[in-house]
Structure 1
Amino acid sequence: MSRSRGCGEKINAKTRAVVFVGYGGRMGRLDEIITLCKKHGLKLILDAAHMSGTKVNGICPGTWEGVDVAVYSYQAVKSLATADSGMICFADEKYDAFAGNPNIQIISAPHADECSYHTYEIAVPDRDALLDELAKHEIYGGVHYRDNTEYAMYAYDHGTCPHAHEISRHIITLPLNLWLTDGDVDQIIKIVNCFPQDK
Structure 2
Amino acid sequence: MILDKILEKPMNEYPVMDTREGIVLFYPNIPAKAASNITEVLHSRWIGQGPKVDEFERRFELKFTYPNKCLAVGSGTDALHLAYLLADLQPDDEVIAPVFTCTATNIPFLYMGVNIVFADVDDNLNIDVKHVEQLITPKTKAIVCVHYGGLPCDMDELWALGKKHNLFIIEDAAHAVGAKYKGRYIGSESDFTMFSFQAIKHITTGDGGMLVVKDPTLVEKAKRLRWFGIDRTSKQKGIWENDIVEVGYKYQMTDIAASLGLAGLEEFDEHLAHRQRLYRLYCELLKDIPGIRVIGSEYTDREHAAWLLTAEVDHREDLMRHLREHGIESGQVHYRNDKYSIFGGRTPGQFPKMDAIEERYLVLPLHARVTEDDIRYIAYVLQKGW
With normalisation by structure 2, the TM-score equals 0.44
Deviation at 1:126, TM superposition (A): 1.5
Deviation at 1:193, TM superposition (A): 3.6
- 1:189 aligned residue: 379
Deviation at 1:87, TM superposition (A): 1.5
CA distance in 2, matches of 1:119, 1:72: 15
- 2:331 aligned residue: 142
- 1:49 aligned residue: 174
Equivalent of 1:87 in 202, 210, 213? 210
Deviation at 1:83, TM superposition (A): 2.6
Output one character per residue of 1:36-84: Cα deviation in whole Å (capped at 9) or x when no partner: 22221111000011111112343112212xx110111221012221132
- 2:304 aligned residue: 115
Question: Conserved in 2, the CA contact under 8 Å of 1:34 and 1:44?
Answer: yes
1:44 maps to amino acid: I
Distance 1:145 1:17, change over 3 A: same
Deviation at 1:180, TM superposition (A): 2.0
1:182 maps to amino acid: E
Deviation at 1:179, TM superposition (A): 2.0
List alignment gaps of at least 5 residues for structure 2: 1-97, 99-126, 224-265, 274-300
Backbone CA RMSD of aligned residues: 2.7
With normalisation by structure 1, the TM-score equals 0.82
1:163 maps to amino acid: K
CA distance in 2, matches of 1:15, 1:161: 19
Between 82-91 and 117-126, report the one with greater CA deviation.
Answer: 82-91
Deviation at 1:178, TM superposition (A): 1.9
- 1:30 aligned residue: 155
Question: Conserved in 2, the CA contact under 8 Å of 1:145 and 1:168?
Answer: no
Between 126-135 and 90-99, report the one with greater CA deviation.
Answer: 90-99
CA distance in 2, matches of 1:54, 1:131: 29
- 1:129 aligned residue: 318
2:345 is the counterpart of 1:156: yes
2:134 maps to amino acid: E
Question: Conserved in 1, the CA contact under 8 Å of 2:172 and 2:195?
Answer: yes
Which has the larger share of helix? 2
CA distance in 1, matches of 2:371, 2:203: 22
Bigger Rg, which one: 2
CA distance in 1, matches of 2:218, 2:343: 33
CA distance in 1, matches of 2:319, 2:206: 34
Output one character per residue of 1:97-148: Cα deviation in whole Å (capped at 9) or x when no partner: 889xxxxxx99999x9532111110011211111111001010111111111
- 1:11 aligned residue: 136
* Percentage of matched positions with identical amino acids: 29
CA distance in 2, matches of 1:61, 1:3: 18
Question: Conserved in 1, the CA contact under 8 Å of 2:145 and 2:153?
Answer: no
Distance 1:7 1:194, change over 3 A: farther
- 1:20 aligned residue: 145
CA distance in 1, matches of 2:134, 2:182: 30
1:62 maps to amino acid: G
SS, match of residue 183 in structure 2: coil
CA distance in 1, matches of 2:191, 2:357: 28
Question: Conserved in 2, the CA contact under 8 Å of 1:3 and 1:33?
Answer: no
CA distance in 1, matches of 2:330, 2:302: 27
SS, match of residue 16 in structure 1: strand
2:195 is the counterpart of 1:72: yes
CA distance in 2, matches of 1:192, 1:11: 42
CA distance in 2, matches of 1:19, 1:113: 19
Question: Conserved in 2, the CA contact under 8 Å of 1:46 and 1:70?
Answer: yes
Equivalent of 1:172 in 362, 371, 383? 362
Aligned length: 187
SS, match of residue 163 in structure 1: helix
- 1:102 aligned residue: none
